[in-house]
Structure 1
């Protein structure tokens, strides 16, 4: 087993997955916030974005080739498109589901709409939003393995090579690091979510869970 190659392919896989996830968050989080405040547009737009999820991943990668050729770029575009929906859906839900009493309290304290968004809705919806990011991250790491079919590299190269050679060891050398990456990234994002949550808000959310919600 070539450990240097496994490490190289793992680093390629991280790069291939992280950039699309970053772009998906930059697109989907602001868009989800916008749609949460413009409900008349939300159903149509979210439905349109969700339709991308119904396209088989290999087919979507194939659609990219005539326009962008083969390699990393078309794979990243396809992975970004796949990653947008879970982040968008959860951002929309997280913002919309903030308890109305908290928003009313904010307005009662003289907060503006923008202050309500940044000081109430986003902090209170952070758990749901981050759950969407974690879902997208794990999903992207998995789909990135088939990007090997358009020459994007990553751990999928080892998996496909192992399948071609009918060698379980080579297959595992690609599959196991992919699974470990998904676990590690999920844990890192959970830790990030915890650190980004203000201490007072952690206490409020903890008490809210114990009491079964705001009354």
Structure 2
């Protein structure tokens, strides 16, 4: 199937609803698995970590859209970027909610103390705060209010979010000396961010 044909398919009006359903499937499965006791010996921990994993996976997907759009010649992919980005925020919110509920029983002073005491919780919370700012300004009205230049500058925070997310994951796994999955995510995100840096350097006019 040629690039033009795939691009036309991606522009079909049914693709967005399909992507929305696919994006919700992991959450639906996790809820179903929790109610049917399929999450192992520690279901609360499994649920918290799985929601965090899916947030990171969607972050990889949203950062992969632009390179894939450019290299594959699929400009219609751009229309899916906002939805995928909002799924990053959705799963991050569910990850935070599951932590606050199952780990901390909504003890707000305890949560605040935990954020200060444990660096990986602090880093994760900072990433979520930045995601909140991006989600709140992801709509056309916010783009018009901020202006395109300021909006783009704000949304470049996604690169910082990616770094914080990998650091959060690294510190979380460091207690068990399990870094294989962290290395995979770190390598993928480094490649995606490196591609953007390379493109930006190519666009700079030669000096002299």
TM-score by length of 1: 0.32
TM-score by length of 2: 0.32
Larger radius of gyration: 1
